[in-house]
Amino acid sequence: MLFPTSLSQWTSPPLRWAALAAIASLVLITTLLWQWPRDDHNTYGFAGVSKASGASQAPLYSADVYNTTLGFEKVFAIGLPSRTDKHDAAALGASMIELDLNWIDGVKSSDLTPQAFPIGWNKDPNAHQPGMVGSWRAHMNALQTVVSLRLSTALIIEDDADYDVSLKVQLDQFSHGARAIQHQESTTPHSPYGDHWDLLWLGHHGAIPRENETNIYIIPEDITAVPVRHNKPWHVPAEKFFQTETSRLVFPQVRGVATYAYGVTLAGAQRILARQSMEHMDQNFDEKLGRMCDPEEETMVLRCIAPFPTIIGAFKRQGPKSWTSDNWFDSKAQGKNDQEWEPARSVGVMYSVMLNMKRLLLGEKAKAQFDDWPVQESDMNAVRALHGHLMDESELKHT
Ligand SMILES: *[C@@H]1O[C@H](CO)[C@@H](O)[C@H](O)[C@H]1NC(C)=O
Ligand SMILES: *[C@@H]1O[C@H](CO)[C@@H](O)[C@H](O)[C@H]1NC(C)=O
């Protein structure tokens, strides 16, 4: 009989006991397997640690910045499909901080037909870093998606983005700062970051306010703030704004460079797409984006808000120098520096998820990137007591 309806039809008595025993052990094993990953998750899994602390922490304004899209409607990650190594790392990193990524395919400059180049783009390879037009196009594709789906807000990240283990607490603080400088502390805006912005430049290699800016939010003691001496960004706010080496500022921004990550609204995405795809465009994507933050430079203006130092950084895995950036890989520079092997490194984050991947998966705390840092180990709980405020007149005068 192929399909027995009961054990007695199927077997003789001794075999029946054996079958019952087999079923019993199957049930036992299934029960154990069902419980085992959950126990392991709670005891050792970093994801469990992150969830527990995130949930028990009273958010400053909105619990949404702790959700799997960080308080934005969607998160897009830009990456070349051929760089499977970066996809692996990005997926792992996102899983550690519980982030839902939607992939947007990166674009190689060589895949772009000449008619699709920006109007006014200097095709002389010496005029732009090789590969920059591909990078520009990938960002246009991401923005085009935001516009097509009419998303009210989105976060766009590059595939080598790196995060501090306390990213969600940092964003909670940042949302506090962003809303303070938009004067939206006591309202209930649609976005947890406030409603009077077009661009939140969360991952950069330099961003500045105007030198005479008076609307500045400061977190004076932020142990996750990478000091300038360890990062060397291209743009650094005037020294007078910093009260301590660990100050993190949030301000209306007028310049920025490098787009590891940025939040954008629908109106912001429309403006960037219009300015950078339909009009004369002879600068790299990030450089033009920075100028769009400044009404003295551009008429198609964005209301930009940035933290300084950056919150989201960039990870470079170990390997020959030419492998790290696709802007360079996709170019004549390819293969030139292959003798030079570089260790894994991270730019812009103190307690890097990427550099600490193994430690975190083994249930250990994240280590600071720099040996001279006073707090060598951290998890989300270590930064729970950060406090920030709008700088008042006396603070600004004194500085
Ligand atoms: C996270 O919060 C934002 C802002 O409220 C919301 O638009 C988004 O849908 C939320 N994400 C998830 C996965 O619930
Ligand atoms: C700051 O300087 C700019 C010119 O760079 C000027 O337009 C603006 O009014 C000044 N703001 C304040 C508050 O003085």
Domain span including residue 123: 60-398
Q: How far is CA 79 from CA 83, 138, 141, 160, 343, in A?
A: 7, 8, 12, 8, 22
Residue 64 Cα to ligand 1 middle (Å)? 6
* Residue 213 or 385, more confident: 213
Residues 353 and 312 in one domain: yes
Angle at 148 between CA 147 and CA 151, to 5 degrees: 55
Residues 222 and 365 in one domain: yes
In angstroms, the first-to-last Cα distance of the chain is: 90
Ligand 1 atom 1 nearest Cα: 71
The predicted pLDDT at position 16 comes to 57
How many Cβ atoms are within 10 Å of 25's Cβ, its own excluded? Answer: 10
Residue 68 Cα to ligand 1 middle (Å)? 8
Residues 152 and 283 in one domain: yes
**Which pair of structure tokens corresponds to residue 264?**
């954008």
Q: Is residue 177 part of a domain?
A: yes
pLDDT by residue (tens digit) across 2-47?
333 443 344 444 555 555 555 555 554 444 444 333 333 332 223 3
Residue 213 Cα to ligand 2 middle (Å)? 8
Burial class (CB in 10 A: 0-12, 13-18, 19+), 296: exposed
**Running DSSP on this structure, what letter comes out for residue 334?**
T
**Which pair of structure tokens corresponds to residue 294?**
């400044």
Pocket of ligand 2 (CB under 6 A): 210, 212, 214
pLDDT by residue (tens digit) across 265-275?
999 999 999 99
Q: Is residue 295 part of a domain?
A: yes
Residues 71 and 22 in one domain: no
Ligand nearest to the CA of 210: 2
Per the CB < 8 A criterion, the answer to whether 10 and 1 are in contact is: yes
Q: Is residue 12 part of a domain?
A: no
Residues 46 and 128 in one domain: no
Residues 328 and 385 in one domain: yes
pLDDT by residue (tens digit) across 61-118?
788 999 999 999 999 999 999 999 999 999 999 999 999 999 999 999 888 988 899 9
Residues 218 and 358 in one domain: yes
Confidence bin at 210 (pLDDT 50/70/90): very high
What's the whole-number mean pLDDT along residues 158-187? Answer: 94
The predicted pLDDT at position 143 comes to 98
Q: Is residue 246 part of a domain?
A: yes
Residues 122 and 50 in one domain: no
Residues 47 and 155 in one domain: no
pLDDT by residue (tens digit) across 183-203?
998 888 999 999 999 999 999
The predicted pLDDT at position 323 comes to 62
Q: What is the DSSP string of 123-145?
A: --TTTS-TTHHHHHHHHHHHHHH
Ligand 1 atom 14 nearest Cα: 67
The predicted pLDDT at position 101 comes to 97
- Determine how β-strand 74-79 pairs with β-strand 153-158: parallel
Residues 170 and 290 in one domain: yes
The predicted pLDDT at position 35 comes to 38
Residue 69 Cα to ligand 1 middle (Å)? 6
Q: Is residue 11 part of a domain?
A: no
Total of domains in the chain = 2
**Which pair of structure tokens corresponds to residue 35?**
């419980």
- Determine how β-strand 261-265 pairs with β-strand 102-105: unpaired
Residue 63 Cα to ligand 1 middle (Å)? 10
Residue whose C-alpha is closest to residue 251's, from 309, 299, 330? 309
Q: What is the DSSP string of 379-390?
A: -GGGGTT---EE
Q: Which of 68, 72, 179 to mutate to test ligand 1, by most ligand atoms within 8 A of the CB atom?
A: 72
The pTM of this model reads 0.84
Q: Which of 51, 62, 66, 69 to mutate to test ligand 1, by most ligand atoms within 8 A of the CB atom?
A: 69
Q: Is residue 13 part of a domain?
A: no
**Which pair of structure tokens corresponds to residue 16?**
């029946």
Angle at 28 between CA 25 and CA 31, to 5 degrees: 150
pLDDT of 231 > 50? The answer is yes
The predicted pLDDT at position 77 comes to 98
Q: 59 CB less than 6 Å from ligand 1?
A: no
**Which pair of structure tokens corresponds to residue 95?**
């899983």
Q: Is residue 67 part of a domain?
A: yes
Please identify, by atom number, the ligand 2 atom nearest to the C-alpha of residue 212: 1
Q: How far is CA 12 from CA 6, 24, 131, in A?
A: 12, 18, 73
Residues 345 and 376 in one domain: yes
Q: Is residue 360 part of a domain?
A: yes
pLDDT by residue (tens digit) across 290-310?
999 999 999 999 999 999 999
**Following CA atoms 334, 339, 343, 345 in sequence, which dihedral angle do they give, to the nearest 10 degrees?**
-30
Residues 118 and 190 in one domain: yes
Residue 276 Cα to ligand 2 middle (Å)? 27
